């Protein structure tokens, strides 16, 4: 008996997909299940998830330890509002995160995705100054930044295709040039000399500007930004929504530079890719600015699903899997990537080959930009060959789950090799 329910027909009639022009391209592919590094379509065909399903899947799909932690939690406490109540999964998660996050971070504010983790960080930074009676309304952000799709996060992000329709409603930020190609420290010095007393915070994606083109930048530049903000008492926000939980090698990208931010944003891999959760971590210095007998000094931010116990249970289980074996797996992925990139670098159409931890990236010689059709071509080419890739325009990248084996990675490299051979 076949199931009469036609997913594709209902999808076509009623669903609206993200970043999708429904007037173009192929219909979305129904996925029936997933396990380890693979997705399986309804015919059972395996597809190697070489980008961790938008960078969320950490240890592999349907990891049994995380699945059973969620199931157990679901039978105990599925949810309770987090104002006026607390619970063990949130407390255990906070304690676990704070043990291994950089510096003296000691407070955790939970939300439910990467954009909200950033919104919370910016609201904390702005109100930090307001609670002290200072008016500091400016945020400094990087060129090519991407911090999410809500209005605050869009304001911080590079203006372009993704923000154009909303540009009249975004707040202004001060921009620092791409630290991968410019002397960002020098420009920051100039900004600080002119406007120090107006600046609330500087926000960066440490070491890797992700959606802005997988641009790798240096630990030295990160240290320079940290030194200057610390010296001037300006807050530094590290958005590790993408880079957190080992993607760039160490658990957090800030560790490359041996620095600690005042505010750290986490999401994506935090639950191993099982459930939506955001976390904004900060220091006692910041928390104390909100501590008062005056209600109006409280941080007025919250979500219905703040600290959802199922998401916290998933995050605790995922955190426990970030052990030495996992670190060894990440090193293996990096070694494989380095071998492969040395070969791709010799191809005439490959530009700026780079590897940072488990991330491999390069540009294919073509006009740059998210709408360059080469991205969609490679996506379709790879999918036909059982590999999920989703280039950012002509920027090709791999960002696999940590359970990926050498032979899984070879599959992805083979696809890239074959695609490059056509150019």
Using the rule CB under 6 A, which residue among 36, 89, 102, 114 binds ligand PLP?
114
Asked if 357 touches ligand PLP (CB under 6 A), the answer is no
Residues within window 180-219 making contact with ligand PLP, judged by CB under 6 A:
205, 210-211
- Report, in Å, the least distance between residue 242 CB and ligand PLP: 4
421 contacts: CB under 8 Å, gap ≥ 6: none
Spot the catalytic one: 38, 49, 112, 146.
146
Nearest distance in Å: CB 303, ligand PLP: 12
Phi, psi (deg, nearest 5) at residue 88: -60, -45
Shortest distance, position 293 Cβ to ligand PLP, whole Å? 35
In this structure, are residues 260 and 225 in contact, taking their beta carbons and an 8 Å threshold? Answer: no
Grouping H, G, I as helix, E, B as strand and the rest as coil, residue 46 is strand
Radius of gyration of the chain, Cα coordinates, nearest whole angstrom: 22
Characterise 122 by phi-psi region: left (phi > 0), alpha (psi -120 to 50), beta (else). Answer: alpha
Our CB check for ligand PLP shows the closer of 267 and 280 to be: 267
The answer to whether 327 and 334 are in contact (CB under 8 A) is no
Quick one: which H or E segment has residue 232?
helix 219-232
Site string for ligand PLP, 226-245 (x = CB under 6 A): -------------x-xx---
Find the shortest distance in angstroms from Cβ 244 to ligand PLP. 9
Active-site position among 268, 305, 397, 408: 268
User: Does 118 contact ligand PLP by CB under 6 A?
Assistant: yes
Establish whether 172 is a catalytic residue. no
First to last CA, the chain: 46
Q: Are 19 and 381 in contact (CB under 8 A)?
A: no
Cα dihedral 86, 87, 89, 92, rounded to 10, equals 80
358 binds ligand PLP (CB under 6 A): no
146 is catalytic: yes
| Cα–Cα distance for residue pair 132/139, rounded to 1 Å | 17
Q: Is 19 a catalytic residue?
A: yes
Residue 136-175 contact track with ligand PLP, rule CB under 6 A, x = bound: ----------xxx---------------------------
- Applying CB under 6 A, which residues contact ligand PLP? 113-115, 118, 146-148, 205, 210-211, 239, 241-242, 267
**Active site residue ranges:** 19, 146, 239, 268
């Amino acid at each position: 008996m076949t199931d009469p329910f036609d997913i594709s027909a209902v999808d076509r009639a009623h669903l609206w997909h993200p970043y999708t022009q429904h007037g173009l391209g192929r219909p979305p592919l129904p996925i029936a299940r997933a396990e380890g590094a693979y997705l399986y379509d309804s015919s059972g065909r395996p597809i190697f998830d070489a980008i961790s399903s938008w960078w969320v899947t950490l240890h592999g799909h349907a990891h049994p330890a995380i699945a059973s932690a969620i199931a157990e939690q679901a039978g105990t406490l599925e949810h309770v509002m987090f104002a006026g109540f607390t619970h063990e999964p949130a407390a255990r998660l906070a304690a676990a995160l704070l043990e291994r996050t950089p510096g003296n971070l000691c407070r955790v504010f939970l939300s439910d995705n990467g954009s909200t983790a950033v919104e919370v960080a910016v609201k904390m930074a702005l109100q930090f100054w307001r609670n002290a009676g200072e008016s500091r309304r400016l945020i400094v952000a990087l060129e090519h930044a991407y911090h999410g799709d809500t209005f605050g996060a869009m304001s911080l992000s590079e203006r372009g295709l993704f923000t154009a329709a909303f540009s009249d409603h975004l707040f202004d930020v001060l921009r620092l040039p791409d630290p991968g190609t410019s002397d960002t420290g020098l420009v920051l010095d100039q900004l600080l000399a002119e406007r120090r007393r107006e600046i609330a915070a500087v926000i960066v994606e440490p070491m890797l500007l992700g959606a802005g083109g997988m641009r790798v930048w240096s630990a030295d530049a990160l240290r320079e930004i940290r030194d200057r903000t610390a010296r001037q008492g300006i807050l530094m926000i590290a958005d590790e929504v993408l880079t957190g939980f080992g993607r760039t090698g160490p658990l957090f990208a800030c560790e490359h530079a041996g620095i600690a931010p005042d505010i750290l944003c986490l999401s994506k891999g935090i639950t191993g890719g099982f459930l939506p959760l955001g976390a904004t971590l900060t220091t006692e210095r910041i928390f104390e600015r909100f501590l008062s007998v005056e209600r109006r000094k409280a941080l007025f931010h919250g979500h219905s699903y703040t600290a959802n116990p199922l998401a916290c249970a998933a995050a605790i289980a995922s955190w426990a899997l970030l052990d030495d074996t996992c670190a060894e797996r990440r090193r293996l992925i990096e070694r494989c990537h380095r071998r492969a990139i040395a070969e791709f670098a010799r191809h005439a159409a490959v530009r700026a080959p780079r590897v940072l931890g488990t991330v491999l990236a390069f540009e294919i010689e073509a006009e740059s930009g998210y709408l360059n059709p080469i991205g969609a071509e490679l996506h379709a080419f790879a999918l036909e060959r059982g590999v999920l890739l989703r280039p950012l325009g002509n920027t090709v990248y791999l960002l696999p789950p940590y359970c990926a084996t050498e032979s899984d990675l070879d599959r992805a490299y083979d696809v890239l090799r074959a695609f490059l051979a056509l150019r």
